[in-house]
Amino acid sequence: MNVLVSCHGRSLDLSCPRIMGILNSTPDSFSDGGRFFNPDDGLRQAEKMLAEGADIIDIGGESTRPGAQAVSLDEELARVIPLIERLRAETDTFISVDTSKSAVMREAVAAGADMINDVRALREQGALETAAALQTPVCLMHMQGEPRSMQHQPEYEDVVAEVKAFLEARISACEKAGILRTQLVIDPGFGFGKSLAHNLVLFRRIPDFQSFGLPILIGVSRKSMIGAVLDIPMQERMPASVALAGLAVWLGASIIRTHDVRETADAVKMCHAVANL
Ligand code: PT1
């Protein structure tokens, strides 16, 4: 489970934990509050994260936070492709595209993306076949329901067993479709159709997910599970996010998805040093 190699020949060594910086081009992150995301702003944001220690830049054009509406293919392409092109032209970083749509996967990888990050774990029409054809790493995430309604009444008998069974099934589907197991990353999907108790149990049991022998990606940055415990708004959740990032590494995570790259990179390095002497 040591190195991901993209179809462009770029590699990501996972012998120590890596930082995935979040680059949003969804409307809540439009600097002008208007309809058009400026790729120059995005590029500047990405370069800042790289200078702060990001190993991967994750670019998404669909908001998947609770309550978010679906976005059209044209809108998603317009948000994401120019940004990937710019970032690819300017840097040699590992680029991940956060999408569930096969057409976005195809165009993003053609524009230089190295990895597919799919919160729907390649369940959308054509996604499995497309990812297999592209021969590039894929992150498979668990979600119960769809973003718009996933937090309404999430239910599990055994959240850990059910998330693991789901990932097991998606890993098999990927292997049947011709995706190499060594190209897969798994993610329990914090905040995706889970109550606070579900999220906390899943987090404590991150070590259970090591049984797949695949790298584990954890995304909890500024999420409502922190808001629910601390009763604080999003803009005050960085310290708790950093604490969880350190804990996640301690519990076996290989990739941490975050808004706050510098702080998270320090916490991750420190926790990795203690865990691996
Ligand atoms: C994630 C993730 C993601 N999260 C991966 N990709 C988001 N692999 C987008 C909240 O509860 O964890 N892993 N792509 C962002 N989605 C959310 C979900 C944001 C829930 C916020 C919440 O506040």
Instruction: Say how many Å lie between the CA of residue 166 and the centre of ligand 1.
Output: 18
Q: Which atom of ligand 1 is nearest to the CA of 225?
A: 11
Residue in 181, 223, 262, 269 annotated catalytic: 223
pTM, to two decimals = 0.96
Active-site residue 223, yes or no? yes
CA 196, 66, 83, 2 dihedral sign is: positive
Q: Which atom of ligand 1 is nearest to the CA of 223?
A: 23
Q: Which atom of ligand 1 is nearest to the CA of 151?
A: 11
Regarding the beta carbon of 141 and ligand 1, being less than 6 Å apart is answered yes
Mutate to test the pocket of ligand 1, among 58, 141, 167, 256 (most ligand atoms within 8 A of CB): 141
Residue 30 burial (10 A CB sphere; 0-12, 13-18, 19+): middle
Which CATH superfamily does the domain covering 17-275 fall into?
Answer: Dihydropteroate synthase-like (3.20.20.20)
The answer to whether the CB of 121 falls within 8 A of the CB of 141 is yes
Regarding the beta carbon of 195 and ligand 1, being less than 6 Å apart is answered no
Convert the pLDDT of each residue in 206-246 to its tens digit: 999 999 999 999 999 999 999 999 999 999 999 999 999 99
Convert the pLDDT of each residue in 1-20 to its tens digit: 689 999 999 999 999 999 99
Residue 25 has a pLDDT of 77
Regarding the beta carbon of 224 and ligand 1, being less than 6 Å apart is answered yes
Which tokens in the block code for residue 1?
Answer: 């489970």
Convert the pLDDT of each residue in 70-122 to its tens digit: 999 999 999 999 999 999 999 999 999 999 999 999 999 999 999 999 999 99
Residue 35 has a pLDDT of 47
Residue 39 has a pLDDT of 84
Cα(76)–Cα(62) distance, integer angstroms: 6
CB atoms under 10 Å from CB of 152, counted, come to 10
Domain ranges of the chain: 17-275
Instruction: Say how many Å lie between the CA of residue 277 and the centre of ligand 1.
Output: 32
Residue 240 has a pLDDT of 98
The answer to whether the CB of 140 falls within 8 A of the CB of 188 is no
